[in-house]
Chain A
């Protein structure tokens, strides 16, 4: 096996996945971004600027918290929570945007665009754009605008414009299509901050590198707090940015099991889900080759998940390679499991996870029994659940009006 941490190769491939499958107009901008990033990523001043933002603006490091009552509940392994929900703006997404906005600045771009599903990446982008006084446009599927109305309003308060996208399934995939069309049109002055480890090279690499702070902190914290690396790390996977961020610094620690959790929606058998790694085939969408939910003609099929942030037919190419190589395992949990897990964690730990994150917690029902009481599992708490209150209330049949 290649050394997994050395990927992608210079063409942007993780094994057979990744690459740059984009209209010609974008090729130059991708090359420019690749070169800028290569130049800056080892520049001490650039690193110092990001580190300072991560500490003073984002509030890093995020704590590693021992979930005592959850541990007692499963009476299996010791369960620890990596608290990305405590970051400024409420999710891991800000780790990436504080980094990418500095790339935009270095490239002299005046206009920022982004896609968003759950709205967390939209908020995180609007936040950093506001801070630098840059014009900002957020593309969001019309269905997501409805179910994540709180975040839509937050984005607007931050001075960004929200464009509801009606085409296709009116969710994250269509928001990405529209953001790419904007980028093709405004290529000269616009920087596109992609929010996950998806899209054409170099995005999957850049977004991973900026999120890898989570895994690097965990290496240190786990040694300090329980004197070894975890036996397993569990994270939810939509595009897969929070998962790759916490997995990446452990790729070469082969005793650490890496478990990604996809959205099984109404159940894998129902076909109404968003679990390409569990039930998809390799294909090409949004600039990269990766596992994809598609029919036999290569048309992308509609997805379903209770969580807007996971409601996406594709997945980051690095995850596809980790799946094929066997280095990471990917399971899926359905909407019902997610909802009961949301309630369980909220009541037992006083922590209300995002519905995306609740997928990682729900995996405990399946895997906790495989570990002993002297073993340690870390759940990446990728975001907090305030934005999901309306969805949860509706699912529980409660009206908030």
Chain B
């Protein structure tokens, strides 16, 4: 699919120029509330996050481990919908016009809102990552099209070589490499296998390759940043948000992100 250059491409180009690795941070919209999500998004950026990945809650998120599942459930208890999330992005853009925003979620939620997705870029959304659709699929077939958005695809350790090249051909923005066999928040990181696979992917595409799933400590982040173009942090943030939410005190989270951001560019 032809698509126009987005804020995401700008950010990737400037990171590249500065020879910096990208820090992508994930949180679930509406957990614990849309107001805190907005506050956290700005806080993340101040702490050194380069790209925001906003989780769109779904009742049956089959790729998520228990931590993110529970966050989806909490967000749904608040009736967080995709149109609420577009409004959230719009509000975020009032103060931040540079940081790219990726919406990450499941096909059924996007399918139910395929009409709205055609306007998604006007809210300030830059990309969509649909977890449960094969990367080589033609989304237009399902009524999902918007050339102003990048569609990010996942590649896993189990992805075969012929599918890697198909997925690379269809992708825009960056390639999201799933570092392990498992759900989000697992702990089976295998650095040497990851390195080998990322090298292969990079031989097939000019797009940057980010690594995600199972990254918890600044050490994990540092190790993975050496073999990739950036890293994604999810479950550990979501867990911290949940435990902090009562006191509305997010400083610990920002310190953690700051530490990670330093670790990947050391």
- State whether B109 touches A299 (Cβ < 8 A): yes
Residues of A contacting B1 in the complex (Cβ-Cβ under 8 angstroms):
none
CB of B69 closer than 8 Å to a CB of A: yes
Minimum Cβ distance to chain A for residue B161 (Å): 11
| A24 and B155 contact, CB distance less than 8 A | yes
Q: Using Cβ atoms and an 8 Å threshold, which residues of chain B touch A283?
A: 108, 111-112
A29 close to B (CB within 8 Å): yes
Q: Would B131 and A23 count as touching, CB distance under 8 A?
A: yes
Q: From residue 15 to 39 of chain A, which have CB atoms closer than 8 A to chain B?
A: 20-29, 31
In the bound complex, do residue B186 and residue A185 qualify as a contact, i.e. CB atoms below 8 Å apart?
yes
Interface presence of B81 (CB below 8 A) = yes
Smallest CB gap from B58: residue in A: A299
Decide if A286 touches B62 in the complex (CB within 8 Å): yes
Instruction: Evaluate contact between A184 and B155: CB separation under 8 angstroms.
Output: no
Interface string of B103-125 (1 = CB under 8 A from A): 00011111111000000000000
Task: Choose the segment among B11-19, B132-140, B232-240, B242-250 that binds chain A (4+ C-beta atoms closer than 8 Å).
Answer: B132-140
User: Looking at the complex, which of B23-31, B177-185, B190-198, B218-226 is the stretch in contact with chain A?
Assistant: B177-185
B203 on interface, CB distance cutoff 8 Å: no
Tell me the complex Cα distance, A23–B132, Å.
5
Other-chain contact of A294, B108, B158, B159, B178 (Cβ < 8 Å): B108
Q: Could you count the A-B residue pairs with CB atoms below 8 Å apart for me: how many are there?
A: 112
Tell me the chain B residues, 51-99 only, with Cβ under 8 Å from chain A: 58-66, 69, 73, 76, 81-82
Q: Within 8 Å of chain B (Cβ to Cβ): is A300?
A: yes
Task: Given A21-B132, A184-B182, decide whether A28 and B159 contact each other with a Cβ distance below 8 A.
Answer: yes
When the two chains form the complex, which single residue of A21, A181, A298, A300 contacts B183, counting CB atoms closer than 8 Å? A181
Interface size class of B (residues with CB under 8 A): 35 or more
A180-B134 Cα distance, complex, nearest whole Å: 16
Question: By the criterion CB–CB under 8 Å, are B181 and A25 in contact?
Answer: yes
Closest B-chain residue to A180, C-beta based?
B62
Known: A181-B65, A181-B183. A24 touches B108 (CB 8 A): no
Picked from A23, A188, A299, the residue with its CB within 8 Å of the CB of B59 is A299
Q: Is the CB of A168 within 8 A of B158?
A: no
Residues on A with beta carbons closer than 8 Å to the beta carbon of B61: 177
Give Cα A181 to B61, complex, Å. Answer: 10
What is the chain B residue whose CB lies nearest that of A28?
B158
B34 CB to nearest A CB, Å: 15
Chain A residues 196-255 with CB under 8 Å of chain B are none
The size bracket of the interface on A is: 35 or more
A185 to B158 alpha-carbon distance, docked (Å)? 11
A258 to B132, CA, bound (A): 33
A299 touches B65 (CB 8 A): no
CA distance A46 to B2 in the complex (A): 47
Judging by beta carbons under 8 Å apart, are A27 and B134 in contact?
A: yes
In the assembled complex, A70 has its CB within 8 A of some CB on chain B: no
Q: Are A184 and B76 in contact (CB under 8 A)?
A: no
Cα A285 to Cα B69 in complex, Å, equals 16
Q: Does A297 touch B at the CB level, under 8 Å?
A: yes
A286 to B63, CA, bound (A): 11
Q: Which residues of B contact A24 (CB under 8 A)?
A: 134-135, 153-156, 158-159, 178
Q: List 22 A-B contacts (CB under 8 A).
A: A21-B133, A21-B134, A24-B154, A24-B156, A24-B158, A27-B134, A27-B158, A28-B158, A28-B160, A31-B160, A167-B69, A168-B59, A173-B60, A181-B63, A184-B182, A184-B183, A185-B182, A283-B112, A294-B108, A297-B109, A299-B58, A300-B60
Give me 17 other A-B pairs in contact (C-beta within 8 A), A24-B134, A31-B160, A185-B182 excluded: A24-B156, A25-B182, A177-B62, A181-B63, A181-B183, A184-B182, A184-B183, A283-B111, A284-B107, A284-B132, A292-B108, A294-B108, A294-B112, A297-B81, A297-B82, A297-B109, A298-B108
